[in-house]
Chains A and B, each alone.
Chain A
Amino acid sequence: MMKGSSRVTENIIKTLIWAAALSVLTVLVVIIAYILIRGLPVISWQFLTEIPRNMGRSGGISSTIVGTLMVTLVAIVIATPFGIGTAFYLAEYTRRDSMVTRVIRFSAESLAGIPSIVYGLFGFIFFVKYLGMGWSVLSGGLTLAIMILPTIIRTSEEAILAVPNLYREVSYSLGGTKWQTIVKTVLPSAIRGIANGVILSVGRCVAETAAVVLTAGSALRMTTSLTSPTRTMAVHFYILASEAISFENAYGTAALLIILIFLINVVANTLINRFIAKGR
């Protein structure tokens, strides 16, 4: 059956598969190296702690760091309870194939696919205009909260379903109610998996631009309240680069963003590895 030529083809295809995989790794390394080599020298204590001056041409990026933190914080604080609650409802309260479950799951998966620019449009017309919140930390945070909701739902549900049924049975057999079982048994066992989803969502908030620029604005002043406009690091980077204000500071901001995303991924992976190790 096996002819010599097909063995050659076989080897060629294997080589191509290896080549594809290695080229993806190479591209990742090239992108990251390109940004870090130019960006790292820009990052200094002053760069992190000084307010941007002259539209960002000089000075640091402190106000955009604060803006990023505030917008992300609002998004996480709002989305986490809704996301975890939905996950518990899906995993513990309904059958997998019931109508309600299907509709909820359809909505969550649809939300996950909606482009961020559409979230931006919605946030602008609903939070900024209709509810009159204006360009603000709150408008930006709430828009991001809807955007990250599906991520938190999915990761939390997976974590809850990964908790062995034996745990629940033991809790019930000791006279525990459903509520007690969830809070005292399932939640503690699933918490690392849930935290993994929340941390990955932090990464999405930090990286987002399109949805935030239309809802939180692009004010460079230091933000003092939830109702004032702000500029996140990703938005700042976009404006610096696209309006050619300062490529140097753009590189610095981009390098900081990449380092942040890297750290967030490391923390999330550590959590999920511990979660798996503990579960088995």
Chain B
Amino acid sequence: MKKFNEKLSGRVFFILALSSISMLALITVFIISRGVPLIANVGLKNFFGMTWAPSRGLFGITPMIIGSVSVTLGAAIIGIPIGLCCSIFLAEFAPVRMREIFRPAIQLLAGIPSVVYGFWGLLFVVPFIRNYLGGAGLSILAGSIILGIMILPTIISISEASILAIPKQYLYKEGALALGLTQLQTIRFVLLPAAKSGIVSAVILGIGRAIGETMAVIMVLGNSVALPTSVLDPVRTLTTNIGIEMGYAKDEHQQALFATGIVLFIIIMILNSTAQYLTRRKR
């Protein structure tokens, strides 16, 4: 009986552990099988075309790819420097009291619903841009600011962890300080290079978060499918395209949204795998 229990428990744990593999497989299969027929129907060239007009049977997603790339780039420009500064601050500069406030604050920043960010952006950031910089306010810039804030927790927590994970036994820091390097030189020439792979994967995961975000940007981007000419123009991203039209899309149109999902899925899987490869190599 005892032995039977032992064997059974090992099996049960194994079966439970298969859940994440099977779910990932299921998601991949269902998204792809629903979207691929449309891509096959209209052809790759039209699918990556310039015009999205479902009522006329045109499903070109290039404007949305440009939208996603521009908003994500903006978010990266805003979020990465601030995020890295914060992680250095947390790992090296922050007084203990400050750290005790900062960590839960970052956690709260990560927990705030994305719709709340969007709403705040709509009522706070968008009017600000409209009044001081011109345009409708609903713009790439507004989306970039909101996403720049939203990716901070990802960047800060992962890069801080990788700075703190630098092995103490090698006395990197102590050695550098003993050689007469200042605190900042130590950070710049010793700690950051040692934590490089962790920081790079933090940045990649942050970018992944920005590309995948939907509800926050849906409210501040303006969502027009036209090609933007400046950061004050409205755009539509891959995610908001799905978010806006999924509610009423039928048949071919719905398949086209799943096809949009495939593109998103592939981009995210590439980013994720790169980040995972980098952190694994470090170990």
Contacts and interface: CB of A to CB of B under 8 A. Distances in A.
B93 A108 contact: no
B13 A85 contact: yes
Given A18-B93, A85-B12, A117-B261, A124 B219 contact: no
A18 B23 CA distance: 43
B5 interface: yes
A117 B34 CA distance: 15
Given A23-B82, A118-B261, A107 B20 contact: yes
A13 B184 contact: yes
Contact of A35 (B21, B114, B120): B120
B242 interface: yes
B221 interface: no
A111 B24 contact: yes
A234 B113 contact: yes
B152 A24 contact: yes
Contact of B268 (A21, A34, A113, A179): A113
A178 interface: yes
Interface of A: 1-2, 10, 13-14, 16-18, 20-21, 23-25, 27-28, 30-32, 34-35, 81-82, 84-86, 88-90, 92-93, 100, 103-104, 106-111, 113-122, 124-126, 130, 146, 149-150, 153, 177-179, 182, 200, 203-204, 206-210, 214, 234, 237-238, 241-242, 250, 254, 257-258, 261-262, 264-265, 269
B257 interface: yes
A177 B2 contact: yes
A215 B6 CA distance: 39
A126 B26 contact: yes
A21 B219 contact: no
Interface SS of B by simple majority: helix
Given A85-B16, A89-B17, A106-B276, A210 B243 contact: yes
B130 to A, nearest CB: 17
Given A237-B119, A265-B108, A110 B269 contact: yes
Contacts, number: 235
Given A113-B272, A117-B261, A107 B152 contact: no
Interface string B212-235: 111100110000000000000000
Interface string B1-25: 0100110011011111111110110
A130 B257 CA distance: 17
Nearest to A234: B113
A90 B21 CA distance: 13
A82 B16 contact: yes
A150 B218 contact: no
Contacts of B53: none
A159 to B, nearest CB: 16
A31 B117 contact: yes
Contact of B239 (A25, A90, A117): A117
B158 to A, nearest CB: 12
B12 A117 contact: no
A121 to B, nearest CB: 5
A21 B113 contact: no
B248 interface: no
B76 to A, nearest CB: 15
B152 A209 contact: no
B109 interface: yes
B212 A31 contact: no
Contacts of B117: 31
B6 A257 contact: no
Contacts of B124: 30, 34
Given A20-B81, A28-B108, A177 B19 contact: no
B14, B23, B30, B93: residue with the most chain A Cβ atoms closer than 10 Å: B23
B119 A117 contact: no
A17, A103, A116: residue with the most chain B Cβ atoms closer than 10 Å: A17
B108 A121 contact: no
A138 to B, nearest CB: 16
Given A24-B82, A178-B9, A257-B116, A14 B27 contact: no
B214 A117 contact: yes
Contacts of A237: 113, 115-116, 119
